[in-house]
Chain A
Amino acid sequence: EAQVTQNPRYLITVTGKKLTVTCSQNMNHEYMSWYRQDPGLGLRQIYYSMNVEVTDKGDVPEGYKVSRKEKRNFPLILESPSPNQTSLYFCASKSMGYSNQPQHFGDGTRLSIL
Protein backbone atom coordinates (compact mmCIF):
# COMPACT_ATOMS: atom_id res chain seq x y z
CA GLU A 1 0.00 0.00 0.00
CA ALA A 2 1.31 3.43 -0.98
CA GLN A 3 1.81 5.46 2.14
CA VAL A 4 3.67 8.13 4.08
CA THR A 5 4.56 6.96 7.59
CA GLN A 6 5.38 9.29 10.46
CA ASN A 7 6.68 8.36 13.90
CA PRO A 8 5.87 8.95 16.64
CA ARG A 9 2.18 9.83 16.31
CA TYR A 10 2.17 11.54 19.72
CA LEU A 11 4.98 12.95 21.83
CA ILE A 12 5.05 14.97 25.04
CA THR A 13 8.47 16.32 25.95
CA VAL A 14 10.19 19.20 27.69
CA THR A 15 11.81 22.40 26.52
CA GLY A 16 15.34 21.95 25.21
CA LYS A 17 15.33 18.17 24.80
CA LYS A 18 16.29 17.34 21.21
CA LEU A 19 13.79 15.27 19.28
CA THR A 20 13.42 13.79 15.83
CA VAL A 21 10.21 12.99 13.97
CA THR A 22 10.76 10.44 11.25
CA CYS A 23 9.00 10.36 7.89
CA SER A 24 9.23 7.62 5.31
CA GLN A 25 7.46 7.11 1.97
CA ASN A 26 7.30 3.99 -0.20
CA MET A 27 6.25 5.61 -3.49
CA ASN A 28 9.72 6.57 -4.76
CA HIS A 29 8.71 10.23 -4.69
CA GLU A 30 11.38 12.83 -5.28
CA TYR A 31 9.61 15.59 -3.36
CA MET A 32 9.01 15.57 0.40
CA SER A 33 7.84 18.29 2.75
CA TRP A 34 7.02 19.09 6.37
CA TYR A 35 4.08 21.21 7.57
CA ARG A 36 2.73 22.32 10.89
CA GLN A 37 -0.98 22.77 11.46
CA ASP A 38 -2.26 25.29 13.97
CA PRO A 39 -5.90 26.32 14.57
CA GLY A 40 -6.98 29.17 12.30
CA LEU A 41 -3.66 29.20 10.46
CA GLY A 42 -4.14 26.20 8.23
CA LEU A 43 -0.97 24.36 7.28
CA ARG A 44 2.32 26.18 7.01
CA GLN A 45 5.30 24.72 5.23
CA ILE A 46 8.46 24.27 7.30
CA TYR A 47 10.94 22.71 4.88
CA TYR A 48 10.80 20.84 1.63
CA SER A 49 13.16 18.71 -0.44
CA MET A 50 13.09 18.16 -4.17
CA ASN A 51 15.59 15.31 -4.12
CA VAL A 52 18.34 13.64 -2.11
CA GLU A 53 20.69 16.17 -0.50
CA VAL A 54 18.50 19.09 -1.70
CA THR A 55 16.47 20.95 0.93
CA ASP A 56 14.84 24.40 1.01
CA LYS A 57 13.16 26.56 3.61
CA GLY A 58 9.42 26.98 3.61
CA ASP A 59 7.45 29.69 5.36
CA VAL A 60 8.32 28.84 8.99
CA PRO A 61 11.75 27.13 9.15
CA GLU A 62 13.06 28.76 12.35
CA GLY A 63 13.84 26.22 15.07
CA TYR A 64 13.76 23.21 12.74
CA LYS A 65 16.27 21.19 10.78
CA VAL A 66 15.83 18.53 8.13
CA SER A 67 18.02 16.15 6.19
CA ARG A 68 17.52 14.09 3.05
CA LYS A 69 20.21 11.43 2.90
CA GLU A 70 17.97 8.82 1.30
CA LYS A 71 15.10 9.26 -1.13
CA ARG A 72 12.52 7.58 1.09
CA ASN A 73 13.30 9.36 4.40
CA PHE A 74 12.94 12.99 5.45
CA PRO A 75 13.31 13.42 9.24
CA LEU A 76 12.36 16.63 11.04
CA ILE A 77 14.73 17.61 13.84
CA LEU A 78 14.02 20.00 16.70
CA GLU A 79 17.42 20.66 18.27
CA SER A 80 16.08 22.67 21.21
CA PRO A 81 12.29 22.50 21.25
CA SER A 82 10.29 25.34 22.75
CA PRO A 83 6.61 25.55 23.77
CA ASN A 84 5.73 27.58 20.64
CA GLN A 85 6.59 24.48 18.61
CA THR A 86 3.69 22.61 20.17
CA SER A 87 1.65 21.72 17.12
CA LEU A 88 0.38 19.02 14.77
CA TYR A 89 3.00 18.12 12.17
CA PHE A 90 2.50 16.51 8.79
CA CYS A 91 4.94 15.02 6.34
CA ALA A 92 4.00 14.81 2.67
CA SER A 93 5.48 13.55 -0.58
CA LYS A 94 4.74 13.78 -4.28
CA SER A 95 6.11 12.76 -7.63
CA MET A 96 8.07 15.34 -9.60
CA GLY A 97 7.49 13.44 -12.83
CA TYR A 98 4.57 15.57 -13.98
CA SER A 99 3.61 19.11 -13.12
CA ASN A 100 0.83 19.92 -10.69
CA GLN A 101 0.85 16.62 -8.81
CA PRO A 102 -1.02 16.36 -5.49
CA GLN A 103 0.80 15.57 -2.29
CA HIS A 104 0.34 12.41 -0.20
CA PHE A 105 0.20 13.10 3.53
CA GLY A 106 1.09 11.08 6.59
CA ASP A 107 -1.38 10.81 9.47
CA GLY A 108 0.37 13.44 11.55
CA THR A 109 2.48 13.77 14.71
CA ARG A 110 1.10 15.70 17.64
CA LEU A 111 3.92 17.31 19.60
CA SER A 112 3.51 18.90 23.01
CA ILE A 113 6.50 20.83 24.34
CA LEU A 114 6.19 21.63 28.06
Chain B
Amino acid sequence: AQSVAQPEDQVNVAEGNPLTVKCTYSVSGNPYLFWYVQYPNRGLQFLLKYITGDNLVKGSYGFEAEFNKSQTSFHLKKPSALVSDSALYFCSEGGNAGNMLTFGGGTRLMVKP
Protein backbone atom coordinates (compact mmCIF):
# COMPACT_ATOMS: atom_id res chain seq x y z
CA ALA B 1 0.00 0.00 0.00
CA GLN B 2 1.19 3.49 -0.68
CA SER B 3 2.22 5.82 2.11
CA VAL B 4 3.37 9.40 2.46
CA ALA B 5 5.40 10.94 5.27
CA GLN B 6 5.97 14.56 6.17
CA PRO B 7 8.62 14.39 8.88
CA GLU B 8 8.19 17.95 10.18
CA ASP B 9 5.03 19.10 11.94
CA GLN B 10 6.12 22.71 11.59
CA VAL B 11 8.70 24.66 9.61
CA ASN B 12 9.69 28.17 10.62
CA VAL B 13 11.41 30.51 8.20
CA ALA B 14 12.09 34.22 7.98
CA GLU B 15 10.50 36.23 5.20
CA GLY B 16 12.79 36.41 2.19
CA ASN B 17 14.64 33.22 3.05
CA PRO B 18 14.28 30.02 1.03
CA LEU B 19 11.92 27.39 2.36
CA THR B 20 11.71 23.61 2.09
CA VAL B 21 8.85 21.39 3.21
CA LYS B 22 9.80 17.73 3.12
CA CYS B 23 7.86 14.75 1.80
CA THR B 24 8.83 11.13 1.29
CA TYR B 25 6.69 8.45 -0.27
CA SER B 26 6.43 4.71 -0.60
CA VAL B 27 4.64 3.22 -3.57
CA SER B 28 5.06 0.37 -5.97
CA GLY B 29 5.24 1.52 -9.54
CA ASN B 30 5.28 5.13 -10.74
CA PRO B 31 4.28 7.69 -8.13
CA TYR B 32 1.43 10.17 -8.58
CA LEU B 33 2.53 13.02 -6.30
CA PHE B 34 0.81 16.26 -5.43
CA TRP B 35 1.24 19.22 -3.11
CA TYR B 36 -1.76 21.06 -1.67
CA VAL B 37 -2.02 24.11 0.59
CA GLN B 38 -4.73 24.77 3.17
CA TYR B 39 -5.52 28.21 4.56
CA PRO B 40 -7.65 28.62 7.71
CA ASN B 41 -11.30 27.66 7.28
CA ARG B 42 -10.74 26.67 3.66
CA GLY B 43 -10.40 23.47 1.68
CA LEU B 44 -7.18 22.29 0.13
CA GLN B 45 -5.89 24.09 -2.93
CA PHE B 46 -3.73 22.42 -5.55
CA LEU B 47 -0.17 23.74 -5.82
CA LEU B 48 1.63 21.38 -8.16
CA LYS B 49 1.99 17.79 -9.28
CA TYR B 50 4.80 15.50 -10.31
CA ILE B 51 5.14 14.93 -14.01
CA THR B 52 7.02 11.80 -15.00
CA GLY B 53 10.51 12.67 -16.17
CA ASP B 54 10.65 16.17 -14.62
CA ASN B 55 12.84 16.28 -11.52
CA LEU B 56 11.93 19.91 -10.86
CA VAL B 57 8.26 20.81 -11.14
CA LYS B 58 7.02 24.40 -11.03
CA GLY B 59 3.63 25.29 -9.60
CA SER B 60 1.44 28.09 -8.31
CA TYR B 61 2.54 31.11 -6.24
CA GLY B 62 6.25 30.59 -7.02
CA PHE B 63 6.44 27.15 -5.46
CA GLU B 64 8.38 24.28 -6.98
CA ALA B 65 9.07 20.70 -5.99
CA GLU B 66 12.12 18.54 -6.40
CA PHE B 67 11.57 14.88 -7.19
CA ASN B 68 14.29 12.43 -6.19
CA LYS B 69 13.60 8.84 -7.15
CA SER B 70 16.53 7.29 -5.26
CA GLN B 71 15.50 9.01 -2.04
CA THR B 72 11.76 8.61 -2.78
CA SER B 73 11.25 12.25 -1.93
CA PHE B 74 9.21 15.12 -3.34
CA HIS B 75 10.22 18.20 -1.35
CA LEU B 76 8.38 21.49 -1.77
CA LYS B 77 10.57 24.56 -2.18
CA LYS B 78 10.36 28.28 -2.69
CA PRO B 79 13.38 30.57 -3.20
CA SER B 80 12.01 33.48 -1.15
CA ALA B 81 9.28 33.00 1.45
CA LEU B 82 6.42 35.45 2.01
CA VAL B 83 4.44 35.96 5.21
CA SER B 84 1.34 35.11 3.17
CA ASP B 85 2.81 31.63 2.50
CA SER B 86 2.05 30.72 6.12
CA ALA B 87 -0.40 27.83 5.92
CA LEU B 88 -0.75 24.08 6.25
CA TYR B 89 0.85 22.06 3.45
CA PHE B 90 -0.01 18.52 2.46
CA CYS B 91 1.85 16.09 0.27
CA SER B 92 -0.19 13.30 -1.29
CA GLU B 93 0.22 10.23 -3.45
CA GLY B 94 -2.47 9.02 -5.78
CA GLY B 95 -1.70 5.34 -6.21
CA ASN B 96 -1.56 3.60 -9.53
CA ALA B 97 -4.81 5.05 -10.80
CA GLY B 98 -4.67 8.30 -8.86
CA ASN B 99 -8.01 7.51 -7.28
CA MET B 100 -7.20 6.58 -3.71
CA LEU B 101 -5.25 9.56 -2.47
CA THR B 102 -3.00 9.07 0.54
CA PHE B 103 -1.99 12.20 2.42
CA GLY B 104 0.90 12.99 4.69
CA GLY B 105 0.14 14.36 8.13
CA GLY B 106 0.66 17.95 7.03
CA THR B 107 3.34 20.53 7.77
CA ARG B 108 2.54 23.93 9.16
CA LEU B 109 4.68 26.61 7.56
CA MET B 110 5.22 29.77 9.60
CA VAL B 111 6.91 32.67 7.81
CA LYS B 112 7.92 35.46 10.15
CA PRO B 113 8.46 39.07 9.07
Name A residues whose Cβ lies closer than 8 Å to a Cβ of B. 4, 31, 33, 35, 40-45, 48, 50, 56, 58-59, 90, 92, 99-108
Name B residues whose Cβ lies closer than 8 Å to a Cβ of A. 4, 6, 9, 32, 34, 36, 41-46, 49-51, 90, 92, 94, 98-106
- Chain A residue nearest in CB terms to B5: A42
What is the bound-complex CA distance between A47 and B49, given in angstroms?
A: 23
Q: A42-B106, A43-B90, A100-B49 are in contact. Are A33 and B43 (CB under 8 A)?
A: no
A105 adjacent to B44 (CB under 8 Å): yes
Given A43-B101, A99-B32: 15 more A-B contacts, CB < 8 Å: A35-B103, A40-B105, A42-B106, A45-B100, A100-B32, A100-B98, A101-B98, A102-B34, A102-B46, A103-B44, A105-B43, A106-B43, A107-B41, A107-B43, A108-B41
B42 adjacent to A108 (CB under 8 Å): yes
A90 adjacent to B104 (CB under 8 Å): no
B101 adjacent to A33 (CB under 8 Å): yes
